[in-house]
Structure 1
Amino acid sequence: MKLVVARDEDGKSGLVELDVMEILKFTTDKTRILIHTKNDVYYFPFDSLEKIQNVLQALNLPFVRADRGNLVNIDKVIEIDEKYAKVYFEGDKPGERGKEATVSRPTNYRRILDLFRERQGRKNE
C-alpha cells in the first residue's frame, strides 16, 4: 500500500508515493505530521496522529500509538529500552540502533512490549 506524501513541509518539491511498510513512525510537533523512514523525513496532510491511526487500523496495518507524539510501526522495532521507555528502529547496519521513539508509561508501554515480544516470537519460528 502506498501513501502520497510531500518531500518538504510546504509541498513545493512535489509529492511522492511512499510504501507504508517503509515507514518507521509518524510524529507530530502540533503543527504538522512528519513521516520517518530509515533515511528520510516526509510530510503528511493529516492534521492529527489520531486520524492517521484510525486509517491505518482500518487497513489492519501494524502501527501502534506509543505516546502523544509517536505512532510506530511495531514490525520495524528492533529493540525496546525498558529503563527509558523507548523503542529503537534499525540503523544503517543490521542490528545497529537507528531512529528512536518514546513510549508513554503506563498507558501504552505494556501493550507495545507485548506486541513486540509476540512479533519477535513469530520471527524466531
Structure 2
Amino acid sequence: MNWDGTFSLTEKADGSAGFISINADEILYFCVDQSQSQIKAHTLEQEYYAGWDTLDRLMQALQTTAPQFYRTDRIFLVNLTKVRKIDTEWCKAYFIDAPDYKSKYCYIARLKLGEVKRRISQLSS
C-alpha cells in the first residue's frame, strides 16, 4: 500500500467534526496533548487531532515514508523541513525566520541538538 502523503486528521478531540486530509508538507509538528492524552498535529494556522495513540507508533509508521519527521524530545515529532531557526540556548525550533513571543515552536532535547542540525542540513542538500 502506497502512502499519498496526507494525514487524516480531525478538528475536534472527540472526532465529531469528521476527517480532513492534511498534506504532510503542511504539518510543522506532532505533539502529545497531555491534558487530553491525544496527539495533535500543528500547522502554521491550525491544530488538528490525530488518531494515533502514541508518538512511538506514529514515528515507526513515518520512518520509511516521511524521513523529514524526527522526534526531538519525548512529546514532539517535528517536520525538520519546516524548521527555520534553532535557539540553542533555550533548545527551541521555530518555523519562521524571525520569531517573536507569539511564534509557534517546539522543544529539542539538548542531547539531540546536534542530530537535529545534522538532519536538517542533510534534508536541505
Coarse TM-score class (shorter-chain normalised): 0.7 to 0.9
Paired residues in the alignment total 116
Pairing partner for 1:34 from 29, 40, 51: 40
- Measured after TM superposition, the shift of residue 19 of structure 1 is 0.3
Give, as a single letter, the amino acid of the residue that structure 2 aligns with 1:18.
Answer: I
Q: For 1:63-85, what per-residue CA distance to the aligned partner results, in whole angstroms no more than 9, with x for missing partners? A: 01100010000000000001111
CA distance in 1, matches of 2:72, 2:20: 26
Over the residues paired in the alignment, what is the CA RMSD in angstroms?
1.4
Question: Are 1:109 and 2:113 matched, yes or no?
Answer: yes
The alignment's TM-score, normalised by the length of structure 2, stands at 0.86
The equivalent position to 1:62 in structure 2, one of 65, 68, 74, is: 68
Alpha-carbon deviations, 1:33-77, whole Å to 9, x = none?
000001000001111111111111121430011000100000000
Residue in structure 2 matching 1:7, options 1, 8, 11: 11
Greater than 4 Å deviation, 4+ residue runs: none
- Counterpart code for 2:105: E
Where structure 2 has 5 or more consecutive residues not aligned to the other structure, the ranges are none
Identity of aligned residues (%): 28
Structure 1 gaps of 5+ residues are none
Give the Cα separation in 1 of the matches to 2:63 and 2:56: 10
The SS at the match of 1:18 is strand
The one-letter amino acid of 1:96's match is: A
CA distance in structure 2 between the partners assigned to 1:60 and 1:112 by the alignment: 15
Q: AA paired with 1:104?
A: A
TM-score, L = length of structure 1? 0.86
